[in-house]
Amino acid sequence: MYWVWQAMLDRCRNPRNPAYPNYGGREDPTPITVDEYYCSFENYYADVGDKPSLGLSVDRTNNDRGYEPGNLRWANRHTQRINQRPRKARRSSVAEIHAYAAALAVAKKAKP
């Protein structure tokens, strides 16, 4: 559980963490923070405890709030997927589509 707590702190506080833009660096609607109470592993562990079973991980009940007492639970992947915030649609440019098609054509020619 210690490494789960460390990863939570890192993605919310370390701009070099690849997940930081979706947590501590998130601007829409607000950055995800770690409540001061959870800055202590002992407090975090007292609330969260050991993983109850395989296939579960810590999930924030309300994704617009941070890691704080009353907002954490154990959840399976399906529950976490339903609880995700909507992704912003990204459309490929015409140039990106042409580049992808060209790369596929080259790869197809290279196969014996």
Using one digit for the tens of pLDDT, what is the confidence trace for 16-69? 999 898 889 888 777 888 999 999 999 999 999 999 999 999 999 998 889 999
Would the pLDDT of 89 be above 70? no
CA angle at 50 for the pair 46 and 52, rounded to the nearest 5°: 130
Closest Cα partner for 8 from 46, 49, 41? Answer: 41
Q: How far apart are CA 30 and CA 24, in angstroms?
A: 9
Whole-structure pTM value = 0.68
pLDDT of residue 31: 87
Q: How far apart are CA 84 and CA 26, in angstroms?
A: 14
At residue 102, what are phi and psi to the nearest 5 degrees?
-65, -40
